[in-house]
Structure 1
Amino acid sequence: MCLHQPHCPTTADSDREAAVRVAHHPQQGWSLLCNGVVLFDDTGELLPDGQIVAPHRDVLARPVAA
C-alpha cells in the first residue's frame, strides 16, 4: 500500500503507528495510516485484518506526596 520511500512500517511491525497519515479526521478522532491501520486519538488501533488493539497511552507519573 505504501508507495513512497522509505517505505512505512507494516502492520506487523512494532512501530506501525509511525506510518504516514493519508487521511486525518480530528473531529471524529481517527486517522488512516498508509499501512492500512486506523489510529484513534485514544491510541487504540484497528488493523486491516479487523484485529483491535486496545488503547495504550503512556501513564504519567503522579507526584509523590511529601
Structure 2
Amino acid sequence: MCPHEPPCPSATAPDREAARTVTCHPEQGWSLLCNGVVLFEDTGELLPDGAIIAPHRPTDVPAHTAA
C-alpha cells in the first residue's frame, strides 16, 4: 500500500510512471517506483505481475509528412 498523500497511481493505471521513486540505480539504468513498477532508463517497464511494457519514447511515433 502506498503511504503517500495523495496515493501514487497503481501499477495498472495509465499514469503509473507518476508514482514516486523508492529506489534509484542510475548506474544500472533502473528505478523502483512506489507502486512496484521497475522503470528502465530506456522507458521500458516491468510491472509487479511480471508483465513487460516495451520502451515507449515520444520519438517512436512516426512523423507526419506534409502533402
When normalised by structure 2's length, the TM-score is: 0.86
Percent identical residues: 66
Cα root mean square deviation, aligned: 1.6
Post-superposition, which runs of at least 4 consecutive aligned residues in structure 1 deviate over 4 A?
none
Unaligned runs of 5+ in 2: none
When normalised by structure 1's length, the TM-score is: 0.88
Equivalent residues in 2 for 1:38-49, closer than 5 Å: 38-49=38-49
Task: Encode CA deviations 1:6-60: one digit per residue, 9 max, x unaligned.
Answer: 0000011100000000000000000000000000000000000000000001118
Unaligned runs of 5+ in 1: none
* Equivalent position of 2:15 in the other structure: 15
**What is the alpha-carbon distance in structure 1 between the residues aligned to residue 39 and residue 4 of structure 2?**
20
